Amino acid sequence: MKILIDGQTLLTAEITRGIGTYFRNCVEGILANDFSNDFYINSIPGAHLDRLSSWAREKLCLIDDPVYDIRAADRGKKYRSEQYSNSLNNDIEKRGIDLYWSPNALMDNVVLPTRQTSACQFAVTIFDLIILVMAKEYAKHWSSSALTSYEKKLELLKQDYDLFLHISRHTRSDFTRLLQIENKQHVVTPLAAGGSFRPYPFPKAPAINEYVVYTGGFDPRKNMDRALEAFAVLQKKYVADPRIQATELCLVCSLDKVAESRMLRRAERLGLSGKVRLTGFVSEAALLALYQKARCLFFPSLYEGFGLPVLEGLACGLPVASSNTSSLPEVGGDLAVYFDPYNIDEMADGLYQALQAPMDYQSRQRRYDYSRTFSWPETARATLRAFADCAGDMRPKRVA
């Protein structure tokens, strides 16, 4: 079987975020688990390919075409999409590709190619349907052209794609319910925490002040304003508890100076001066250190396709206070404290409960062991099985 992996993700900012984590781990896991199929990637030569390990690059046959450089500024979006689709379908026909896979289809900065061949199955990974589920909130933040483009992509998926890989059962449920695509192949391939995420190796991490870590952002679904309010309520409600009063809130996210200034002013108005720490974007090594030395993870997101920080926090042995929405209970299982992310008091109480959770060796190990029930190698194997099932019916047709 010949499988073509779309390489656009390597050229986007998402390569350093959750989508990139999925892309790298899934691609390398597939290549490590398969020795019988031929794998291709469409892109252009360049340093971006170094995001993949050297052995993975050796196993991938690069299909090089300048059209695949989605960063090119001299092409309009419509022209770029048409040219990309034409070149991709031509390469599929020319090389006898059995299955094409788009690992990152719905971001506004990537092209979702149209199907112009019947000789190949088209597969796609679906991370979430946030823009549909939270349409009212995102109408304020996305341009009308971006929303129109998103809707067109959904229609294209319904029309042209055969296999849908979903990163959670909840994402699959949303997708089949909202788009009414029941007659296609749907497979759940969950995410996993990286192997470096594990508890601090000594009894207690050396921290001057205890802190709650929140890997959030200013996206509407991240619920940042309510997170600050809930932390302020926690401080007021448990004012007699010296340990709570010594606890800080550590916000891990990318932010510009304007957003940082707004956040600090809001924290001051809520009586949190000196209690909120903003890290900006951090490397994986720095994120690991922040997790390992934290007292608990606070994750009040309104909607997640998976919620990888919950799993990463558990992998580091942390108690977790999480929203009870979307896929998050599916990821946290019985080891997280859940709350309604629209209810400030309930959020504060959930956070307090997580802060009281035991941090002895056995408790941290139990959280870590649970996190390892999610595995990148198993995700890769499930993806490979789905590819084989989807493309299996096509290969006899090609020979005939």
Q: Residue 393 has what pLDDT?
A: 52
Contact call for residues 214 and 227 (beta carbons, < 8 A): yes
Query: Computed from CA positions of residues 25, 27, 28, 29, in that sequence, does the dihedral angle turn out positive or negative?
Result: positive
Lowest-pLDDT choice from 226-230, 280-284, 349-353:
280-284
* pLDDT, tens only, 158-206: 999 999 999 999 999 999 999 988 789 999 999 999 999 999 876 665 5
Q: Is residue 270 predicted with pLDDT exceeding 50?
A: yes
What pLDDT band is residue 75 in, cutting at 50, 70 and 90? low
Lowest-pLDDT choice from 13-17, 206-210, 286-290:
206-210
Q: Is residue 124 predicted with pLDDT exceeding 90?
A: yes
Residue 249's SS3 state is strand
What pLDDT band is residue 219 in, cutting at 50, 70 and 90? confident
Phi and psi at residue 177, to the nearest 5°: -75, -45
Q: pTM (2 decimals)?
A: 0.91
Residues 203-226, mean pLDDT to the nearest whole number: 80
Query: Computed from CA positions of residues 223, 224, 225, 229, in that sequence, does the dihedral angle turn out positive or negative?
Result: positive
**Residue at token pair 């959020």:** 347
Identify which of 111, 129, 127 has the alpha carbon closest to the alpha carbon of residue 20: 127
Please report, in angstroms and rounded to a whole number, the separation of the first and last CA atoms in the chain: 16
Q: Is residue 148 predicted with pLDDT exceeding 90?
A: no
Burial class (CB in 10 A: 0-12, 13-18, 19+), 148: exposed
Q: Residue 220 has what pLDDT?
A: 83
What pLDDT band is residue 79 in, cutting at 50, 70 and 90? low
Contact call for residues 68 and 7 (beta carbons, < 8 A): yes
Contact call for residues 89 and 68 (beta carbons, < 8 A): no
Alpha-carbon distance of 368 to 297, in angstroms, equals: 14
Phi and psi at residue 66, to the nearest 5°: -55, -25
Identify which of 11, 85, 83 has the alpha carbon closest to the alpha carbon of residue 46: 11
Alpha-carbon distance of 363 to 352, in angstroms, equals: 17
Residues 23-48, mean pLDDT to the nearest whole number: 94
Residues 289-310, mean pLDDT to the nearest whole number: 95
Q: Is residue 318 predicted with pLDDT exceeding 90?
A: yes
Alpha-carbon distance of 164 to 149, in angstroms, equals: 20
**Structural domains in the chain?**
2-192+376-399 (3.40.50.2000), 211-371 (3.40.50.2000)
Give me the helices (H) in the chain, please. Answer: 18-33, 54-59, 77-95, 130-133, 135-138, 144-160, 169-179, 224-237, 242-245, 257-269, 284-293, 308-315, 328-332, 344-355, 361-371, 376-392, 394-399
Largest pairwise CA distance in the chain: 78
Residues 48-75, mean pLDDT to the nearest whole number: 90
Burial letters 67-93, b for 16+ CB under 10 A, else e: bbbbeeeebeeeebbbbbbebbbebbe
How far out from the chain centre does Cα 14 lie?
A: 9
33: CB partners within 8 A, 6+ apart: 377, 380, 381, 384
* pLDDT, tens only, 236-266: 999 999 999 999 999 998 777 887 888 888 8
CA distance to 21, 114, 115, 392, per residue, from 105 (Å): 15, 12, 14, 23
Higher-pLDDT residue of 163 and 142 is 163
User: How many CB atoms sit inside 10 A of residue 311's CB?
Assistant: 26
Using a pLDDT cut of 70, give the percent of the chain over it: 94
The token pair that represents 232 in the structure block: 């302020």
Q: Residue 233 has what pLDDT?
A: 97
Q: Residue 400 has what pLDDT?
A: 28
Contact call for residues 322 and 307 (beta carbons, < 8 A): yes
CA distance to 32, 33, 149, 152, 217, per residue, from 160 (Å): 29, 28, 16, 12, 34
Phi and psi at residue 302, to the nearest 5°: -80, -30
Using a pLDDT cut of 90, give the percent of the chain over it: 73
Q: Residue 347 has what pLDDT?
A: 97
What pLDDT band is residue 399 in, cutting at 50, 70 and 90? very low
